[in-house]
Structure 1
Amino acid sequence: MTEDELIAMVRKQTPADNLAPVAAPTVIAAVEAEVGHPMPRFLRRLYTEVSNGGFGIDGWECASLSPLPDHYFCDGEDILELYRSFTTPTQDPGDETVPPGIVPIMDRGCTMWTLVDFRTPDGRIWVWDGNECCRKLCPTTITSVREYFAEGIAGRLDGPSPLHNHLIRESCEH
């Protein structure tokens, strides 16, 4: 499937009420400035060609890049609020923070998140699971945002813990 076909599939499977206006270049620039790395190209295309959040896979929705008063996609107002909450140390010494450049984009429920590594050109996928497998940030074998969406649309990320099959386990051990 070409990148254009994949974007069309994401758009088609996104409920009409989730299609917010696309993200403006200034919004993307603000996100990139705070994160300190460029947004992976395919993710940028989703935000500028599909919607400013609300698109996703398997019922999971990507957060918006900026606050959208008429749309709610996850437990955060926007990606920068989520990014700050994941990268800011807490008072609890047992809480692990996420390194700068790794951005939470998708709330999968029950303290499970999909994160994208802006430090890599294609956006390697990471997982945060506060419940079961890792209770910290873990890399996956999915090396790009494009691959993540292609796998999701093909139904290969279905199930209660679909990304756990893609974890790089030795990196997740405590």
Structure 2
Amino acid sequence: MTDDETIEACRRIARDWDVPPPAPPEAVVKAERVIGFEFPPLLRRLYTEVSNGGFGPADGVLSVDVGQCHEHITEAYAYGPDPTGGVPAGVVPLYDWAARCGRWSTSATRMA
């Protein structure tokens, strides 16, 4: 499946769910600045072309924008890199399963 096909499939699903509108590109850039690295290209497109979080399992993927009602990605990085290693550098926390099993679903960036 291509990225374009993935985006279109996610758009179809998002239309049936009560999800926030797409994130403005500036919100994605701001979140990237906070976490210290860029999102993978497909994830960036999902946020800016499909929805600013809320899609996915249960309560959905975390938002990039603090103004949304959902948890947001930058919370895990609010005080700088996680010294416990719970959120390693280069990993984007996407979904907090803590209420269910104390785990995160993540997306890794390409490492240089």
TM-score, normalising length: structure 1: 0.53
Structure 2, unaligned runs of 5 or more: none
Q: Following superposition, which runs of at least 4 residues in structure 1 exceed 6 angstroms of deviation?
A: none
- Cα 1:86–1:36, aligned 2, differ >3 Å: closer, same or farther? closer
- Judge conservation of contact 2:17–2:55 (CA < 8 Å) in 1: no
- Taking only the aligned residue pairs, the percentage that are identical comes to 38
Q: Which residue of 2 aligns with 1:64?
A: 63
Alignment size in residue pairs? 108
Q: Is the 8 A contact 1:60 1:107 kept in 2?
A: no
Larger strand fraction of residues:
1
Normalised by the length of structure 2, the TM-score is: 0.77
Partner of 1:98 in structure 2?
Answer: 87
Alignment of 1:72-151 (within 5 A): 72=70, 77-84=71-78, 87-89=81-83, 96-108=85-97, 109-118=100-109, 120=110
Select the structure with the greater relative contact order (CA < 8 A; seq sep ≥ 6). Answer: 2
CA deviations 1:49-108 (Å, max 9, x no partner) are 00000122x546110001245x33xxxx3110123479433xxxxx54332221211123
Which one has a bigger Cα radius of gyration?
1
User: What corresponds to 1:37 in structure 2?
Assistant: 37
- Per the alignment, residue 166 of structure 1 pairs with none
